[in-house]
Amino acid sequence: MSMKSNDIQEQSFQPKEILLEGIEVVKDEKESKKRVRGIHRPKTNSKALLKSLSLPFALFLILFVLFPILFIVFYAFTDANGFFTFNAFISFFTNTVKLNVLLISVLIGVLNTVLCLLITFPLAYLLANPKINKNYMLVMLFIMPMWINFVLRTGALRDLLTIILSAFGTTTGEHPLFCTMVGMVINYIPFTILPLYSTMLKLDKSQIEAARDLGCNPVKTFTKSIIPQAMPGIVSASMMVFMPTISSYVISDTLSEGKIMLFGNSIYLSFSQSDWNGGSFMSLIMLIIIFIVMFATRKFENAGSERGVSAW
């Protein structure tokens, strides 16, 4: 009993503190802005200065983002001699093999996203609980694999899987999908754990508490309070996993022993056989999918940035 009452006390105190902190921060910001604007800098100069400061970044964007995209578009709608044509467009949408590769990539992308979320969601919830995880070290441990080159990691995983599967009397070549999914999940877990962890840190405990008090069973509390609150994190985590999975190349190639071809492999094949136009068109399709996904999740992203969570 005493434990329980302690819990309640702790949790009921927290929201007030958070609220107070929030207000203070906001006040501070407002004041500092006033100071900067009002006293230290003349208005006209600062604007010009700020604009000139953004120039390097604008240049960077133009050179490394805009130009490559323009090249992709240019190649996607020209033939080998540089004349305008819809050939790549037509040959992509009439080729069932390529469409099938795209479908399989999307399915594997969805599967990978779901698996990563299923594994990391409870993990992030636990890690964000100060009683279980006292410092940041545990989170770092989960992110640490990202510091090792992932081609090396994938190669090592291939040998590890060979050893593990041999215990069951089978090899990696016999289970290409299983091995690919293991590799994918292991490689993308660090990408999901960070955004989820940072939303979990900001979960409004009082709301969860209220839900419980008002008669929600644990399942309902989870679906009606925790998930909606964690939605921005879930969305940004999914974005970090879904798109890279579709275009990933090394993992599927190494772990499925070349038996599963993803969209990235298909694009690579086109370029390596000097079919630049077909390859560019497929890259364009990738870009379009990225834009669609970004457009569809725009709402959550905005909500996320309000809460201080972005796609890090």
Partner 1 sequence: MKRVFPFMGAISLIAALCLPSCQAVSSNETDDVVYLNVYNSADYINEEADYYEENPLSGNAGLLAEFERYCQEEYGTTVIVNYSTFDTNETMLSELKTGKASYDLVCPSDYVIQKMIREDMIEPFDEGSTPNYDQYVSPFVYEKMSEIEINGEKGLVNDYARGYMWGTLGLLYNNNLTTLSTKKFSITPEEMDEDMTDWASLWDDKYHNLLSIKDSVRDTYAAGILYTYTDDFQLDGKEFEGLATLKEKHDDGTYDDDTYNKKVTEIFNMCDDITLNRVGDNLKKLKENSFGFEVDSGKTDMIVGNKFAINLAWSGDAAYSMDNLDEFIESGTIEGEEVDTTTTNYANLKYVLPETGANIWFDGWVMPKGANKVWASRFVDFFSTPEYTAENMEYIGYTPVIAGDAILDLVQSWYDERYVEEEVDDEGNVIVEGGMDYDALDKDNPEFEEEYYTKDISYFFEGTLEEKEERDCEFYLSLESQGKQFDTQYPDKDILPRLAVMADFGGQNASMLLMWESVKNTVLPTWFYIVVAAGVLVVAGFIVSYYVRKAVVKNRRKARKEARKQA
Contact footprint for partner 1 (CB under 8 A) = 62, 66-67, 70-71, 74, 82, 95, 97-98, 100-101, 103-104, 107, 162-163, 165-166, 169-174, 176, 253-254, 256-261, 265-266, 269-270, 272-276
Complex with partner 1: residue 11 or 54, whichever CB lies closer: 54
Q: Exposed, middle or buried, 88 (CB in 10 Å: 0-12/13-18/19+)?
A: buried
Smallest distance from partner 1 to CB 235, Å: 16
Complex with partner 1: residue 107 or 141, whichever CB lies closer: 107
**Which of the 8 DSSP states describes residue 260?**
S
Angle in degrees, 0-180, between the axes of helices 96-127 and 263-272, rounded to the nearest 10: 130
Smallest distance from partner 1 to CB 288, Å: 17
Smallest distance from partner 1 to CB 230, Å: 21
Residues 6 or more apart whose CB falls under 8 angstroms from that of 304 comprise 199, 232, 233, 235, 236, 310, 311
Complex with partner 1: residue 120 or 180, whichever CB lies closer: 180
Element (H, E) at 224: none
Beta-sheet strands, E only, within the chain: none
Smallest distance from partner 1 to CB 71, Å: 8
Smallest distance from partner 1 to CB 158, Å: 8
Closest listed residue to residue 232, CA positions, set 196, 278, 282: 196
**Which of the 8 DSSP states describes residue 222?**
I
Complex with partner 1: residue 236 or 277, whichever CB lies closer: 277
Complex with partner 1: residue 67 or 93, whichever CB lies closer: 67
